[in-house]
Amino acid sequence: MDSNGNQLERPSVVVTRAESQSTELIEAIHGLGFKVIARPALEITVPDDQGASLRRALQTLSNYEWVILTSTNGVSEFVKASKELDIQTYPKIAVIGSATEKALNNLGLTAILSPHQHVAESLLEIFPSPEGNNNVLLSVAAKSRELLPTTLKERGWNVLVVHSYKSIRPKQFQPFDNDEENAEFIIFTSPSTVINFIEMYGKENIPKQIISIGPVTSEEVKKNNLKVCREANPHDSSGILQCLKEFVNPM
């Protein structure tokens, strides 16, 4: 309440993460005292080949020295397909992101390589040079960045890229007019959330205070002549929450 005893309206945050992945983040934002407006700008679905290329690769998994997983969705699909094929032995696994590593651990597997910064560039900084078996299985979303496979190939790795899922713009979505909602903040968790939100609702409905999950997402924001007010560090949900805390309690 304010000094006059009136109930203060909680500041609003627009969350654009896919509905299937946003529950914990939304609960945590509520816990910080914000009102949440959920407007998912992504929908996770099966790849065009229904996962056939991933299953084929898993049938010869022993041929690979490394598996690289770059997202929680990639982990989920990789482990699910592995269990269906009753795979017992795995190559060395590298991941990008603490959430990806946690998802892998929760499903009973362990990564031996995880960069401090949760971006492909940081994994490339620590990924070893090929020795002997130089085959890498890279399980990613359709239309993922080409940086990782291209650079690994340049370094002498044989890289098989398989699409374990794809992210699409939701076919059905709720309306959003920020003149009515008056949201102060918006969280973008991938370049696709930026692109899709603009297509769904227009730039004019983007709240002024933009929080980006990391540098790749920030770059997409800037491409659209918008300004990132905070970039999460680390580049995950904990970093996003820290950004919101800084707005509430600035140093």
CATH label of the domain that carries residue 180: 3.40.50.10090
Tell me which residue of 203, 183, 242, 36 sits closest to 230, measured CA to CA: 242
* Domain shared by 105 and 124, yes or no: yes
pLDDT for the residue numbered 228 = 98
Q: Which domain-ending residue is among 106, 135, 166?
A: 166
Q: Are 85 and 158 part of one and the same domain? A: yes
d(CA 164, CA 51) in angstroms, rounded, equals: 6
User: Is residue 90 assigned to a domain?
Assistant: yes
Same structural domain, 140 and 180? no
Q: Are residues 152 and 109 in the same domain?
A: yes
CA 182 vs. chain centroid, Å, equals 26
- Single residue among 166, 184, 200 that ends a domain in this structure: 166
Residues 155 and 178 in one domain: no
Residues 49, 148, single domain; the answer is yes
Report the helix count and the strand count for the chain, using DSSP H and E. 10, 10
Q: What is the pLDDT at residue 4?
A: 43
Residue 4 lies in a domain: no
Establish if 1 belongs to a structural domain.
no
CB atoms within 10 A of CB 248: 10
Q: Do 22 and 34 have their domain in common?
A: yes
Same domain, 99 and 175: no
C-beta of residue 130 within 8 angstroms of C-beta of residue 104? no
On whether residue 3 sits in a domain, the answer given is no
Number of domains making up the chain: 2
Question: 144 and 188 share a domain?
Answer: no
Segments in the chain forming alpha helices (H)? 23-31, 52-59, 72-84, 98-106, 120-126, 147-154, 178-181, 191-201, 215-223, 237-248
Domain boundary residue among 104, 131, 166? 166
Shared-domain flag, residues 70 and 153? yes
Q: What's the rounded Cα separation, in Å, for the pair 249 and 251?
A: 6
Query: Using one digit for the tens of pLDDT, what is the confidence trace for 107-151?
Result: 999 999 999 888 899 999 999 999 889 999 999 999 898 999 999
Residue range(s) defining the domain that contains residue 24: 12-42+170-248
49 with 162, same domain: the answer is yes
- Positions in the chain whose pLDDT score sits under 50: 1-7
- Cα angle, residue 118 at apex, residues 200 and 77 outer, rounded to 5°: 70
Same-domain check for residues 60 and 112: yes
Q: Model pTM?
A: 0.86
CA distance 48 to 69: 19
pLDDT (0 to 100) of residue 100: 92
5 belongs to a structural domain: no
